[in-house]
Structure 1
Amino acid sequence: MPHRVVDFFRSSNDSIHNIKASVQRRSNPNSRSASRERLTVSSVLETAVDHTQSLISAAPPVKMAEPLKHKDSHSHHRLSFPSLHLGGSKSAKEPPQNPNASLDWKIESPPVVMHGEPESSTGALVSGQLLLDIKEDGFEVEHFSAKLNIHVIQKRPFAGHCQQCSNQTTELKSWTFLSEPTILSKRVHEFPFSVLLDGHLPATTDNSVVAIRYDFFAEAIPRTGPTIKLTKNIDVKRSLQVPELPHHSIRIFPPTNIAASVHFTQVIHPISTNTFTLRLDGIVKHNPDVKTVEYWKLKRLSWKLEENMETVAPACEKHSPKDPETGLPMKKGSKRSDSRTIAHADMHSGWKADYSPSGSIEMEVQYQLAPSAKTVCDMKSEDGTQITHQLVVEMVVVQEYAPTAHPKHITPTGVARILRMHFGVVITERAGLGVSWDNEAPPIYQDVPPSPPSYSCDIPYESVESVEDLMLNRRSQEVGSRAQSPTYEEQTPSSAGADEAAR
């Protein structure tokens, strides 16, 4: 290294003598070649030192550069990339926080679960409170609002690398808590909010084609200091009722006489173990003319659960074509689809076969969905997004025959068939302890019986023209009743004399 060479020649003569001594100690003093080698090394070192000192004395004095302050000695090995920031600080990513106030929320409603099909569901109710924590007295807030948006993210947009084609946002609800400048005291201020999500809205999902989420955004603008913001996501799920009885399906596979009868659960859950039963009839055929029997034997059964995803990626105003007549952008989108297998298995045994004249093959198969599969629930939205699942069962059967007199002498015919069946299944979330919000609500006015009870009236309402007529009729009735009762002057003389005798 250059700096090491300079340091070596700048060293004192003591270091050279030390080097010569170490060389002499390593060599053998009894050997002539060693002594000759010591003389050669010493002469070479002395000559090099004398020559170096002569060069230094003859050369003009050179001012050595001072080391840079506050710099690393190896800074010349560094490369600077001003436009590239790797591992930026955390403070650069997060917005500045207001030291005098903070914003949080508290959800008071149960988990957001929509019960039933989108066509008949009443939706889900979301209610909670926004907690604005003021840490100093006299804190002034100019505006305080919140909104709930449904955010659709296209994984494969209409135009690649276009943010407008990738993101579609629709506002569902907005709240304005403070519209004018307001001075708040030092405490936690509560602002309630609620919204009813319609039943036709899609549930939250995230797959390889599209992602749907519900973003809740609140913002408080103070008079001084940075804006106080709160961003949260609401997880919306949908739950369908599981039927009590399993679904029954029958398949016939011509040109054979095989008929498959399957009982399976049509509505399943993402993390569950399910069962379907299978029965094959018509596996035995008798040929009385040639006195032979044909058998269909099951060699292999495989099942798999497929997930199919479809969506329409819309084009933004920039990439959508223009109408030649009006010049306005036209609605256009590209269909995106994807499919994958979330569970599968192959079976080579495990069924019961009966090859009697009315023979059949019966089996019970269990299939499960593991959490690692990250299964997405079924959904269907108005923008064209649809997620469906189907259970595919595939069987391989081979044909064999045997003489009627010797049924054990079985000979394969070399004929084989692949029997394939598809069954539509629905994967939905569990309802848990919650029920639909309309079942929990108190009865509405139309459900309450008529109250208070009606009062009877002697005078029909049709004959009463006004309140004055009603009062006149009542007075006439009172006068008539008084006229019918006898007064004191109208009493008989006998009764009057009896009274005087009594007195």
Structure 2
Amino acid sequence: MPHRVANFLRASTSTLESQIFKKSSDKNGTTQPRRQKSPSSKPPRSSERIFSYESSTEEGADESHSSAGKMAPDRHESPAETHHSHHRLSFPGFAHLGRGSKDSPSSHGASLDLVVESPPIVFHGDTETSTGALVSGQLLLQVKEDGLPLESFNATLNIHVTQKKPFTPHCHDCTHQYTELQSWSFLKAPLAMTKGMHQFPFSVLLGGHLPATLDNPLMSIAYELKAEAVPKTGHGPAMKLDKVFEVKRSLPTHETPHHSLRVFPPTNIKASVHFPQVIHPTGANTLTLRLDGIARPNEKNGTVEFWKLKKLTWRIEEKAKTVAPACEKHTPKELDAAGASSGAQPKKGFQRTDMRVIGEKTLFSGWKSNYDSTEDASVDLELEYGVGKNFGLDPDASPKDKRRHACDAKSADGSEVTHQLMVEMVVSQEWAPAGRPSLVTQTGVGRI
């Protein structure tokens, strides 16, 4: 497109030049005799004419005044020069070709800021025992002009839930749900604000049953504070402020590690594990494992059977489930036959589930084995596990895999996040003649 505009200008200019030059030649040939001129006083040819593309008449006037100031007072233009200057072309509109008009930004008569006075928002305890957290602060209105009239000044704190797998794709109301926790109206009537800083305090107690901030493949939960100061018409645009609060939950740890015992029939293998049930996401946690019953004598054949640990893999799985609600527009209107007969309410959402691994590692060594006697044969292992790239996550993984973990959560709308530690072992079954444990023969492989 730019080259077409350039060609159009070039063609139009050439046409105007040729017409003016032809008219000038005819006029000079009929009214004045042809006379010789020196090279210095020879007027420029049509191809050498200078065209002025002034953006405005004021700029053209400024240029004419400045050029007139530089000229000598006793200098007189020749008739030819006067004739050519009379036909000088000016296209004011062409100066803006290829550029959009830029409006000067409107100056605000005031600015809005926020100062949070309360400590970080942390719910101590689970949803049943937590007493909540207090959020307090001040909205600062800096008025730059005296007598700024304000029509209203309001603020709202909402829980914003974003469904990443909504009931109806590409529907804004199915994707975003807002729950108002608290609202403030700082002005009871329109008021003229004086110049200076004005402070508007606010506070709210968040209930301990509320979910913490989270972001997983199914949904995200955010606490958003929105404030808006609306001046009187003609005194500038409205001033808005958006702030997102991060809400965390702290769960108490037990004094003693959790003890889990499991037997794997038809073998005699017994696994005893000690591990903490509440872990810190950025720290290392210790797991102690002991395997018993991994050897037994076979008196009939005169052999001893062993179970030897070959590989161990641990991983932390995060399971999330939620109900993606339907908006009023997409809510099913009719019940199915079973629902109508039972009097059940129409289904207003779809349940979504997701599972991802937030920590994983595989070990092929690092445990102690004791096969001196069939009664005391055991395998002892102590390992560290946790969440993050230091515990098996690929640092070059996709953004979805590197998404931040979520704390255990359970809300009234059906959303829930849980975690579990999985330990998987691969054992090899071997036998050897009694009294000669070095002569082993492998007979099979099992996974427990």
The TM-score, its normalising length taken from structure 1, stands at 0.63
Give CA-to-partner distance per residue, 1:407-448, whole Å, 9 cap, x none: 322222x222100xxxxxxxxxxxxxxxxxxxxxxxxxxxxx
**What pairs with 1:404-483 in structure 2 (closer than 5 Å)?**
404-412=434-442, 414-419=443-448
Q: Is the 8 A contact 1:257 1:282 kept in 2?
A: yes
Q: Is the 8 A contact 2:314 2:421 kept in 1?
A: yes
CA distance in 2, matches of 1:67, 1:89: 20
**What pairs with 1:232-271 in structure 2 (closer than 5 Å)?**
232-271=243-282
The offset of 1:331, in angstroms, is 5.3
Q: Is the 8 A contact 2:108 2:237 kept in 1?
A: no
The offset of 1:89, in angstroms, is 12
Which residue number corresponds to residue 430 of structure 2?
400
Q: SS in structure 1 opposite 2:267?
A: coil
The offset of 1:368, in angstroms, is 3.0
CA distance in 1, matches of 2:188, 2:334: 41
What percentage of residue pairs aligned between the two structures are identical?
A: 54
The offset of 1:337, in angstroms, is 1.6
Aligned residue identity for 2:286: T
Which residue number corresponds to residue 160 of structure 2?
151
Which residue number corresponds to residue 203 of structure 1?
212
Which residue number corresponds to residue 187 of structure 1?
196
Q: Is the 8 A contact 1:98 1:227 kept in 2?
A: no
The offset of 1:71, in angstroms, is 6.2
Give CA-to-partner distance per residue, 1:205-250, whole Å, 9 cap, x none: 1121101101101111111221111111111111101222111101
Q: Is the aligned partner of 1:342 residue 2:353?
A: no
Q: SS in structure 2 opposite 1:188?
A: strand
Which residue number corresponds to residue 228 of structure 2?
219
Q: Is the aligned partner of 1:361 residue 2:400?
A: no
Q: Is the 8 A contact 2:228 2:239 kept in 1?
A: yes
Work out which of the residue numbers 295, 299, 309 in structure 2 matches 1:288: 299
Work out which of the residue numbers 333, 339, 344 in structure 1 matches 2:349: 333
* C-alpha RMSD of matched pairs (Å): 2.8
Give CA-to-partner distance per residue, 1:71-108, whole Å, 9 cap, x none: 69xx9xx9xxxxxxxxx99999xxx7762111111111
CA distance in 2, matches of 1:370, 1:90: 49
**What pairs with 1:489-500 in structure 2 (closer than 5 Å)?**
none
Which residue number corresponds to residue 119 of structure 1?
128
Which residue number corresponds to residue 367 of structure 2?
351
Cα pair distance change 1:71/1:337, threshold 3 Å: farther
Structure 1 residue runs without a partner (length 5+): 4-65, 79-87, 420-503
Cα pair distance change 1:67/1:142, threshold 3 Å: closer
Q: Is the 8 A contact 1:342 1:375 kept in 2?
A: yes
Which residue number corresponds to residue 322 of structure 2?
311
Cα pair distance change 1:98/1:151, threshold 3 Å: farther
Q: Is the 8 A contact 1:270 1:376 kept in 2?
A: no
Q: SS in structure 2 opposite 1:161?
A: coil
Cα pair distance change 1:130/1:166, threshold 3 Å: same
Q: Between Structure 1 and Structure 2, whose CA radius of gyration is higher? A: 1
CA distance in 2, matches of 1:407, 1:376: 49
Work out which of the residue numbers 91, 94, 118 in structure 2 matches 1:109: 118
Q: Is the 8 A contact 1:250 1:259 kept in 2?
A: yes
Report which stretch shifted further, 182-191 or 397-406. Answer: 397-406
Give CA-to-partner distance per residue, 1:434-470, whole Å, 9 cap, x none: xxxxxxxxxxxxxxxxxxxxxxxxxxxxxxxxxxxxx
Cα pair distance change 1:89/1:411, threshold 3 Å: farther
The offset of 1:286, in angstroms, is 1.3
The offset of 1:323, in angstroms, is 5.3
Q: SS in structure 2 opposite 1:178?
A: coil
Which residue number corresponds to residue 478 of structure 1?
none
Structure 2 residue runs without a partner (length 5+): 1-6, 8-88, 390-394, 396-401
The TM-score, its normalising length taken from structure 2, stands at 0.70
CA distance in 2, matches of 1:90, 1:391: 60
Q: Is the 8 A contact 1:142 1:221 kept in 2?
A: yes
Q: Is the 8 A contact 1:132 1:190 kept in 2?
A: yes
Aligned residue identity for 2:148: F
Aligned residue identity for 1:346: T
Cα pair distance change 1:415/1:68, threshold 3 Å: farther
CA distance in 2, matches of 1:405, 1:145: 86
Aligned residue identity for 2:189: E
CA distance in 1, matches of 2:207, 2:385: 34
Q: SS in structure 1 opposite 2:420?
A: strand
CA distance in 2, matches of 1:380, 1:258: 36
Which residue number corresponds to residue 9 of structure 1?
none
CA distance in 2, matches of 1:264, 1:89: 67
Q: Is the aligned partner of 1:298 residue 2:316?
A: no
Which residue number corresponds to residue 85 of structure 1?
none
